[in-house]
Structure 1
Amino acid sequence: MGLEMLSTDFEAKRRQHEPAPELPQQVVLPGDRALFLSESAEGLDDGAHFLDSLTSDEWAKLRMHGRRLAFATGQAIFTQGDRHGGIFIIESGKVHVFYTAPSGRQITLAYWTAGHFIGGPEMTGGGIHIWSAEALSDCRMLFIPATALKKLVVELPNFALCLLQGLAAKGRCYSAMAQMLGTRSVIERLAQFLMNLGKLHGVRDGRAIVINAKVTHDQIAAMVGSTRQWVTMMMKRFQKEGLVTVTPRHIRIERPHALMEMVSKRAAGEAAFRLPLTEPR
């Protein structure tokens, strides 16, 4: 038996005699920050501050041209294929943005929180929405119609610069997702996403990390570009190998370093001989 497995057994015995760590109230994904598939948990929320440099007068003009909207939990904000009419600035609440393939299969593009905007990449109307957005919680938004957006960009140069910064943040988001989907195996994406959740919502318990967030296998599958059945199978395999422990309330990363090694080229090559790299059909 390897030293790492012995260490894991020791940790399990230790937990039998020590009280479990006190956990704060469980977070509902994504928490209070944006979340998307990325090779790091750093910088996920950069776009939330794209309007921070606006003056109070500029904000007043923005609100004068905008329209306040409210969306209930589960309500569609816009749907893939709808005609584009403007952008939505999230004032409060959480939004799930996703793409639906012709087969009906969905992939999560991002979870956006307060301060971010949705409705791109079109900005000034004339096209269609190429993905959908749904309220994960009750949301309040400032909707800027395309016609008003054109006018504001001309009249408020500072707002135009802010908008460019917001678009740059969105570009980094979707570039990170494309890089992960195009260059990492599905196992690596799963391991990386679990590690990111551990950094964002983890609570230390000895060497282990308890992910203190409510996340389903469906959500994980849509994020890493897989299926719920495959995620369930892999989580069972990870649990059998002592990498994680899955309970009805939490995912506990027992061996963070081993999971992190799985995203390295060397570990990925070794894993190919032990773990299925493709999804079940």
Structure 2
Amino acid sequence: MSLDVRLTANPAAHPKHIPSIDLPAPATLPGDQALFLSEGVEGLDEGAHFLDTLTPDEWAKLKSQGRQLSFRAGQAIFNQGDGHGGIFIIEAGNVRVFYTAPSGREITLAYWTKGHFIGGPEMTGGGVHIWSGEALSDCRILFLAAPALKKLVTELPSFALCLLQGLAAKGRCYSAMAQMLGTRSVIERLAQFLINLGDRHGVRDGRAIIINAKVTHDQIAAMVGSTRQWVTMMMKRFQKDGLVAVTPRHIRIERPHALMEIVSKRGT
């Protein structure tokens, strides 16, 4: 269910003013940078640069040890419960990584973009994937199998250092998500996620911020650890309180400071 559905049931609940500024077509999540649940947007894309220090010759050797894979939008790259066989480096496209509970409920761990690797935490084989990865758009992936990884780590110390940096970036990502889930109420997480979307995809219109991105209730619920029904209810409440408004194409944050006040109130 998209945010442009159900939220306009009460016309008196949101402002009459409709943004007059020209905007490009709304982006689809995650855009051109990674996205995960965090207390801000700083550092969201650190992991995309973990191989930047490799020389052209080292890159050529890395690619020679890998296997090029292509995935269509909607295809599974790996599935929760599958055996680990190596890592996947995203060369083009966007990927969603998510965990599925026994009940069938999903939580999105992150949206990854070009430059990031997925398929951890196991690096050299053994064990099973504890979450799944799916292509959100057509993707080009460089797969490094466990034997190739071991060979590269042994023969290219610079690659081993890059891998450590990549793992550190992943650790910070999942630590940020765990901190949000463990210390913030669900309404705080929703407010923070809207703020982050405003920082990433926002366009100023006076005091308001227009989030120029397509996002659904299901996507928000999976990011903040809630249900679509709860997100729908809270977005209606935010709209009634004048915090947000919704047009057929955009989410408009009318009172950014009010959302920040929700985020700053612990234990709400």
Bigger relative contact order, structure 1 or 2 (CA pairs below 8 A, ≥6 apart): 2
Counterparts of 2:23 and 2:199, CA distance in 1: 15
- The equivalent of 1:236 in structure 2 is 236
Counterparts of 2:257 and 2:221, CA distance in 1: 23
Contact kept in structure 1, 2:51 and 2:162, CA below 8 Å: yes
Q: Where do residues 1-281 of structure 1 align in structure 2 (5 Å cutoff)?
A: 12=15, 15=17, 20-265=20-265, 268=266, 272=268
Counterparts of 1:43 and 1:151, CA distance in 2: 30
Contact kept in structure 1, 2:98 and 2:108, CA below 8 Å: yes
Contact kept in structure 1, 2:26 and 2:250, CA below 8 Å: no
Moved more, 115-124 or 247-256: 247-256
> SS in structure 2 opposite 1:262?
helix
When the two structures are superposed, what TM-score results if normalisation uses the length of structure 2?
0.93
Counterparts of 2:166 and 2:243, CA distance in 1: 38
Structure 1 counterpart of 2:260, one-letter code: M
Counterparts of 2:30 and 2:71, CA distance in 1: 18
Deviations 1:126-154 (A, max 9, x none): 11100000000000010000011011101
Counterparts of 1:248 and 1:107, CA distance in 2: 26
Deviations 1:170-219 (A, max 9, x none): 00000000000000000000000000000000011110000000000000
Deviations 1:62-85 (A, max 9, x none): 111100000000000000000000
Query: How far 1:22 sits from its partner (Å)?
Result: 1.0
Contact kept in structure 1, 2:15 and 2:245, CA below 8 Å: no
Counterparts of 2:101 and 2:24, CA distance in 1: 38
Counterparts of 1:136 and 1:167, CA distance in 2: 23
> SS in structure 1 opposite 2:115?
coil
Counterparts of 1:108 and 1:150, CA distance in 2: 30
Identity of aligned residues (%): 81
> SS in structure 2 opposite 1:237?
helix
Counterparts of 1:252 and 1:20, CA distance in 2: 12
RMSD (CA atoms): 1.4
Counterparts of 2:248 and 2:105, CA distance in 1: 26
Counterparts of 1:87 and 1:138, CA distance in 2: 18
Deviations 1:12-34 (A, max 9, x none): 46x36xx6111122100000000
Counterparts of 1:21 and 1:256, CA distance in 2: 19
Counterparts of 1:247 and 1:167, CA distance in 2: 40
Counterparts of 2:176 and 2:248, CA distance in 1: 31
Unaligned runs of 5+ in 2: 1-11
When the two structures are superposed, what TM-score results if normalisation uses the length of structure 1?
0.89
Q: How many residues align?
A: 256
Deviations 1:14-55 (A, max 9, x none): x36xx6111122100000000000000111001000000001
Query: How far 1:246 sits from its partner (Å)?
Result: 1.9
> SS in structure 2 opposite 1:59?
helix
Counterparts of 2:164 and 2:211, CA distance in 1: 35
Structure 1 counterpart of 2:84, one-letter code: H
Contact kept in structure 1, 2:211 and 2:252, CA below 8 Å: yes
> SS in structure 1 opposite 2:263?
coil
Larger radius of gyration between Structure 1 and Structure 2: 1
Counterparts of 1:208 and 1:223, CA distance in 2: 24
